[in-house]
Amino acid sequence: MKTLDYVVAAAYVATNGLAIVQVIGAHRWPVITRLLFFLIFAMAAVVNTRTVLDTPWVYQSYAYYALPLYSWFILGPFDAITQPMVLTIAVGQALISIAMFTSGRWFRVGCFGGILFCLVIAPLGLGAAFPATLLLALAFYRLSKHEDRQPVGKALDKRRVSSTVA
């Protein structure tokens, strides 16, 4: 059990460290931040889909870390709708990840979705590595306000072209 405690503590610290990097990166390295958000949310969509199809009961454990209203919901009404609810969340996570490769309105909608997602799961407390969720929401907000709103693919192409020209 002691080893598991260390693993959980290390994951918690790493998650919050990554969230801090995302907040800083949203201003300093927006392309890298977008790529990391793509990876985080794409992986979350895959993990949530596989988990809810194979072992949907594991989502009940989030009730132990959540605020009372969330605990009541998880242990009550959520139990009957776990699969459709988590699959819907996974689709949202996939759409947020895809939005990181867009620009303009679609990019801002993806950032808004990321902000909303992070704020909604914040009451899960330690189960969602709180306060990482609030930091990630801030990173999405800062990223959406960044003046460089070009898609990730175009930004990477520009860097390749400029490095080969020089």
Tens digit of pLDDT for each residue in 96-130?
A: 999 999 999 999 999 999 999 999 999 999 888 99
Q: Check: CB of residue 149 under 8 Å from CB of residue 127.
A: no
What is the residue range of 95's domain?
Answer: 2-165
Q: Check: CB of residue 97 under 8 Å from CB of residue 38.
A: yes
Residue 139 pLDDT greater than 60, yes or no = yes
Looking at the structure of the chain, the number of domains it has is: 1
Provide the token pair at 152: 């990730």
CA distance 149 to 131: 27
Q: Check: CB of residue 122 under 8 Å from CB of residue 130.
A: yes
- pTM of the full predicted structure? 0.83
Tens digit of pLDDT for each residue in 61-87?
A: 999 999 999 999 999 999 999 999 999
Q: Check: CB of residue 106 under 8 Å from CB of residue 99.
A: yes
CA distance 138 to 23: 6
Kindly state the average pLDDT of the residues 130-135.
95
Q: Which spans in 29-131 are helix H?
A: 30-54, 68-75, 77-80, 82-99, 104-121
Tens digit of pLDDT for each residue in 4-58?
A: 578 888 989 999 999 999 999 999 999 999 999 999 999 999 999 999 999 999 9
CA distance 162 to 166: 6
What's at 158, amino acid-wise?
A: K
